[in-house]
Structure 1
């Protein structure tokens, strides 16, 4: 049974965090970084894949999501200190990180800024740092939110007042995933609506602003998983990150979109387990 805990931070904020359960025999502790928007609660397929492999899962709602306090002006890098506090609250020292979509940048922040604690990283459909070195918006079906975020928080908040979901962002394979294996993701996105738009707004502003760390600082091994047909975060983002991360490999999924690519989560866990085993030899 998943344990829920409100972690009190030194600055007076609270983070709502989750633990799949302390287990002295766990082969690995994985910190899951949720997408945008979600509540931060670990999703069923993640928990099931982890349980089958003896992996303990921690997760937390980023500020303004799922019961966590706001953190005005947060950048991507700020996730590292929050995750460190969550790991400390659960008595965990070293761990791997995995992030999907908007969780990817925050997973990378932990690896860059907590190098003595993070031993491996996997991202799925992760956005890359904003740059004009390639067409950052190219291939995005509905880039309006991120384009507004580039103009600042006020512009992104104004966009949120009229923003509507564009179903053309998803492939038939994505909708099939949401109706099947990843139905818990769709349900969680629905639950996140009760907490308002601030978490998503702050995420987008953070993505379109300097992240607060360099990808070149990520020394841990990184697995980038990307759907070739993704219309939310296009393949160019993964290719760009691959060229900047010192120790990364890319799994390009030729038939996958933004949601269906999550089916690789069990394989990504196996990769992280293998990396951890190799480091301990």
Structure 2
């Protein structure tokens, strides 16, 4: 099911699947609801909801600038309010994990559980692992897309990623083929310079059951970040899964299993049954 919410000049696309306990699950930078659906399987008794962030998927960019994780988090909360959701589980991949952490720290009373998958931030803005996104943004601002792609592909940054994190490199090269290069550059530059807006002390006080998912062979999502978050959040459990760069199918299967096991053990999931026919 798909719906839309208008907010601050933006038309936000809301994608839902299933019925039951609501789980708001957010995609990563450059992703959309399809990324979530690929990694979070439908479950009996679960209502999976993704609000595609401004400038992503079927959502328009709107008028508010700069793009920030806090702005995206406010959009998710506005969608939850519009849907009449007082309490929900919350999760996300990469940027989506930062959005989830931002909401969880500010509104822990509304969050039944957290899933922080492949975190790209701890607590400080503009971490070094986000620098390649800023380099892609700079290339797109300086040159037409094909020339910008060639410049980035020949850079020291691309050479490092080709060696250490080939999946990250493939993702970054994909940004050069997006239909609106100026908007893509704006999104990448703004989000790469931002952070969740959550302090370490606030994270230590976040008394919510939490699953943290991490893996290796990934420059954008250092496994050290996943381990550090799991050690900081008081009710967190860390699951390390197969790297996407080395075995994409196994990575997907282990991601899905980790999320499903955690949600089934944490949430009051009740399968939706059909009313008996007269």
Which has the greater radius of gyration?
A: 2
Which structure features the higher share of helix residues?
2
Query: d(CA) in 2 for partners of 1:200 and 1:122?
Result: 28
Contact preservation (8 Å) 1:156, 1:201 = no
- Matching of residues 13-52 of structure 1 within 5 Å: 13-20=10-17, 23=19, 26=20, 28-41=21-34, 43-46=36-39, 49-50=41-42, 52=43
Contact preservation (8 Å) 1:15, 1:60 = yes
How big is each residue's C-alpha offset from its partner over 1:219-254, in whole Å with a ceiling of 9 and x where there is no partner? 22221111123243221222332343233221123x
**Which residue of 1 is the match for residue 274 of structure 2?**
none
- Count how many residue pairs are aligned between Structure 1 and Structure 2: 243
Query: d(CA) in 2 for partners of 1:275 and 1:221?
Result: 7
Q: Which runs of 5+ in 1 are unaligned?
A: 179-185
**Which residue of 2 is the match for residue 226 of structure 1?**
214
**Which residue of 2 is the match for residue 145 of structure 1?**
133
Q: 2:258 aligns with which of 255, 261, 267?
A: 267
Instruction: Give the drift of 1:117.
Output: 1.5
Task: Give yes or no for the alignment of 1:252 onto 2:240.
Answer: yes
**Which residue of 1 is the match for residue 47 of structure 2?**
56
**Which residue of 2 is the match for residue 7 of structure 1?**
5
Instruction: Give the drift of 1:197.
Output: 5.8
Instruction: Give the drift of 1:38.
Output: 1.8
Task: Evaluate the alpha carbon distance shift between residue 39 and residue 256 of structure 1 in structure 2; reply closer, same or farther with a 3 A threshold.
Answer: closer
TM-score of the pair, normalised by structure 2: 0.71
Query: d(CA) in 1 for partners of 2:234 and 2:182?
Result: 35
How big is each residue's C-alpha offset from its partner over 1:36-87, in whole Å with a ceiling of 9 and x where there is no partner? 212345644346x22x332111111111212233331132222332111112
TM-score of the pair, normalised by structure 1: 0.70
Give the superposed CA RMSD. Answer: 3.6
Task: Evaluate the alpha carbon distance shift between residue 252 and residue 196 of structure 1 in structure 2; reply closer, same or farther with a 3 A threshold.
Answer: same
Task: Evaluate the alpha carbon distance shift between residue 98 and residue 262 of structure 1 in structure 2; reply closer, same or farther with a 3 A threshold.
Answer: farther
**Which residue of 1 is the match for residue 141 of structure 2?**
158
Task: Evaluate the alpha carbon distance shift between residue 36 and residue 80 of structure 1 in structure 2; reply closer, same or farther with a 3 A threshold.
Answer: closer
Contact preservation (8 Å) 1:35, 1:100 = yes
Contact preservation (8 Å) 1:122, 1:222 = yes
Residue 116 of structure 1 aligns to a residue in which SS? helix
Query: d(CA) in 2 for partners of 1:96 and 1:232?
Result: 25
Task: Give yes or no for the alignment of 1:194 onto 2:179.
Answer: yes
Contact preservation (8 Å) 1:76, 1:106 = yes
Contact preservation (8 Å) 1:31, 1:57 = yes
- Matching of residues 66-215 of structure 1 within 5 Å: 66=57, 67-70=59-62, 71-129=64-122, 131=124, 137=128, 143-146=131-134, 148=135, 155=138, 158=141, 162-163=148-149, 168=162, 169-170=165-166, 193-194=178-179, 196=181, 198=183, 201-202=186-187, 205-215=190-200
Task: Give yes or no for the alignment of 1:238 onto 2:236.
Answer: no
Query: d(CA) in 2 for partners of 1:124 and 1:197?
Result: 28
Residue 77 of structure 2 aligns to a residue in which SS? helix
